[in-house]
Amino acid sequence: MELNTIKPADGAKKAKRRVGRGIGSGLGKTAGRGHKGQKSRAGGFHKVGFEGGQMPLQRRLPKRGFKSALLKFNAEINLTDLQRLGADEVDLAVLKAAGLVSDLIKNVKVIKSGELTRKVVLKGIGATAGAKAAVEAAGGQVA
């Protein structure tokens, strides 16, 4: 095979449709546009979703729902998770290493759910009032 002998496979190159070239072509006269109407005219098209003046679907449906993009960077863990975690000092890196939060997370908050019986020091991690009281009651602290 030489560069000057390369050609596309048979049937790979199809000739473009030539409209308005006479009655024998099958696409003469109206050239496949039908008779009259906006779509038969030159330049006669309208915007996507236009329904002839009827209220378009995207405007008939109600606007609802919103999920803040900030939510994907925040996470919550509970006291049971802290109890199971072996570390005495807990920060964001420890939680990511343990697989409790994903790598995208930037803020973590401890919520009061479950029980904590061992001493844990939280560094750079938020806590609800109830969770903070539970951590301090177990001998730990929230820094």
What's the CATH code of the domain at 100?
A: 3.100.10.10
Exposure b/e, 5-21, CB count within 10 A at least 16 = b: eeeeeeeeeeeeeeeee
Global confidence as pTM: 0.52
* Residue 58 domain-assigned (yes or no): no
pLDDT (average), residues 120-143: 93
- Domain housing 101: 70-142
* Residue 12 domain-assigned (yes or no): no
User: pLDDT digits over 52-71, tens only?
Assistant: 899 999 999 999 888 888 88
Q: Which of 115, 41, 129 is nearest to 78 (CA)?
A: 115
Mean pLDDT estimate for the chain: 92
Please give the tally of structural domains in the chain.
1
* Residue 27 domain-assigned (yes or no): no
* Residue 114 domain-assigned (yes or no): yes
pLDDT at 87: 87
* Residue 36 domain-assigned (yes or no): no
